[in-house]
């Protein structure tokens, strides 16, 4: 009778908690430096918590995820899949898009820590709209997806179940961000020193993101 199994090499909850605490400490120190050397301000606690949760989940997931042994060909394929996945997420959320052609150039907005410095760029081909915490989080997801691809090569197709579950979770983590980013760009937009609103869309995206990281870190298999 088949069922779900998880990585037996995953560390204990205390080890995961230790990594999370260290990550929060490092983020707090970097945020303090950022506030001292720039004119950025703070935001509501809920707004700050969203960015800290994303970065902390990313650090814990990447640090504790199991890394199967893989040959160069598998590493190359897994890397390509991971990068492609990250680019698709960026496109879905509006972080990467086609050039609008309206205001060419680079703009850096000093939003609160981990929301800023937010980078906006509009070139001849592509445009970018990047919050640091989202860029960090999507990079972590891309890496974890590449590990799921290596699982399939090492353990067979049953090892890809966790990746499929997480891909579904990430669709739900990306779509709320689309609405939130569209809202932030509408009306007056994001001006220098303003803080983005942390509405229900960002909270939903954060919950789905944490689930996705958790599944991709544990990566359950059928067996």
Note if the bond before 117 is cis, omega within 30 degrees. Answer: yes
Residue with tokens 């640090």: 63
The answer to whether the pTM exceeds 0.85 is no
Distance CA 222, CA 22 (A): 33
**Cβ within 8 Å of residue 200, ≥6 positions away:** none
Pull the structure tokens for residue 99. 């050039």
Strand 221-222 and strand 105-109: the pairing is unpaired
**Cβ within 8 Å of residue 12, ≥6 positions away:** none
Distance CA 39, CA 113 (A): 11
CB 153 within 8 A of CB 74: yes
Pull the structure tokens for residue 202. 């960002």
Pull the structure tokens for residue 146. 């590449």
- pLDDT, mean of residues 56-85: 92
- Burial class of residue 184, CB neighbours in 10 A (0-12, 13-18, 19+): buried
The pLDDT tens digits of the residues spanning 156-182 come to 766 666 556 555 555 545 544 444 444
Distance CA 16, CA 26 (A): 15
Most confidently modeled of 14-28, 139-153, 204-218? 14-28
The pLDDT tens digits of the residues spanning 192-212 come to 344 444 456 777 778 888 888
């Amino acid at each position: 009778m088949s069922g779900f199994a998880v990585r037996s090499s995953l560390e204990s909850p205390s080890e995961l908690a230790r990594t999370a605490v260290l990550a929060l400490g490092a983020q707090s120190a970097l945020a303090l430096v950022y506030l001292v050397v720039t004119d950025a301000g703070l935001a509501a606690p809920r707004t700050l918590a969203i960015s800290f949760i994303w970065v902390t989940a990313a650090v814990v997931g990447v640090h504790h995820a199991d890394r199967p042994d893989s040959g160069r060909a598998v590493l190359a394929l897994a890397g390509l899949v991971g990068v492609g996945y990250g680019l698709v997420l960026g496109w879905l959320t509006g972080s990467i898009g086609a050039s609008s052609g309206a205001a060419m150039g680079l703009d850096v907005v000093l939003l609160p820590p981990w929301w800023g410095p937010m980078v906006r760029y509009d070139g001849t081909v592509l445009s970018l709209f990047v919050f640091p915490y989202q860029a960090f989080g999507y990079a972590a997801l891309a890496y974890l997806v590449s590990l799921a691809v290596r699982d399939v090569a090492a353990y067979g197709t049953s090892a890809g179940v966790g990746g499929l579950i997480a891909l579904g979770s990430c669709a739900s983590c990306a779509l709320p961000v689309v609405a939130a980013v569209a809202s932030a760009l509408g009306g007056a937009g994001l001006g220098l020193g303003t803080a983005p609103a942390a509405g229900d869309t960002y909270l939903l995206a954060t919950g789905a993101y944490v689930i996705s990281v958790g599944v991709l870190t544990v990566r359950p298999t059928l067996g």
